[in-house]
Amino acid sequence: MTATAFKRPKRRIKWGLILTYVAAIVVTVTMLAPFVWMLSASLKLDRDVFAFPIEWIPSEPRWRNYIDIWTKIPLGLFVYNTAKLTIIVTVLQLLTSSFAAYAFAKLRFPYRNTLFLAYIATIAMPWQVYMVPQFLLMRELGLSNTHLALICLQAFTAFGVFLMRQFYMSIPNELCEAARIDGMSEYGIWWRIMLPLSMPALSTLTIFTFVTTWNDFLGPLIYLTKTELKTIQIGIRMFITQYSQEYGLIMAASVVALVPVLLVFLALQRFFVEGIASTGVKG
């Protein structure tokens, strides 16, 4: 046999794969650049924040910005208020969404599909459309300028019901039928069977609800006027006065506000993709 017979075939360059990696890198850098700039700006004086060219790594980092944000405004109180609202709303949405989704997915009652479609159709309606009627209702109930108003308005979500219902549809009905034969109530089936099996969907809904509630700006701006009730997103505006803006402190406070969201996502990320994929298995 000739020597050429033992030559390995040349590997073909997979340009498609290379272009995919390049595109992914470009998108990643584009998405991360604002966060890197925010972190960099949080360690600068106000006059250096918008300096050009951008000094991504400050030569003299101003770590005092992270001390001043706690003393110039009651940031600790704002973080507490935001955490309280976020935790309560997230827990309530998990309970109400999973409970309603179980009824729509596994129970038989008249006009079930019609009610579900009517409820889900509210997702297409922007909040700004019914923002004023909601405010008037809360005022008539005496809940304006209270945290309870925001909790009541955000305790229910059509998106959460849709997300959980799609996941429950992928769970075999035989499990529920077997539990009913054994004498288990519908509440028991929901609590002991459906909830333990729906951890991916619950984790996904937790991330969405936590991020939305924590970053909510317009709701607290409308309903909360007292300083002791404000959330961190409104509190950051206190660094903006009529004649000046303390951009270094604003960016430092923004970094602090980002940390809890990042921690929640990192803690639940392994369930996130699984939950998103599972909700589309059966509809």
Give the model's pLDDT for residue 278: 53
What's the CA gap between 143 and 155, in Å, rounded? 15
CATH for 65-278 is: 1.10.3720.10
Per-residue pLDDT of the chain (283 residues; tens, 9 = 90+): 555 555 566 666 677 788 888 899 999 989 888 888 888 888 888 888 888 888 888 888 888 889 888 988 898 999 999 999 999 999 999 999 999 999 998 888 888 889 999 988 888 888 888 888 888 888 888 888 899 999 998 988 899 999 899 889 888 888 888 888 888 888 888 888 888 888 888 988 998 999 999 999 888 988 888 889 999 999 888 888 756 788 888 899 999 999 998 888 888 777 766 655 554 444 4
pTM for this predicted structure: 0.83
Task: Give me the phi and psi of 113, to 5 degrees please.
Answer: -65, -35
Bridge partners (DSSP) listed for residue 245: 240
Query: DSSP of 131-194, one letter per residue?
Result: HHHHHHHHHHTT-TTSHHHHHHHHS--HHHHHHHHHHHTTS-HHHHHHHHHTT--HHHHIIIII
What's the CA gap between 174 and 188, in Å, rounded? 15
Per the CB < 8 A criterion, the answer to whether 252 and 61 are in contact is no
What's the CA gap between 125 and 93, in Å, rounded? 19
Number of Cβ atoms within 10 Å of the Cβ of 112: 13
Give the model's pLDDT for residue 85: 94
- Residue 28 CA, chain-centre distance (Å), reads 20
Give the model's pLDDT for residue 124: 84
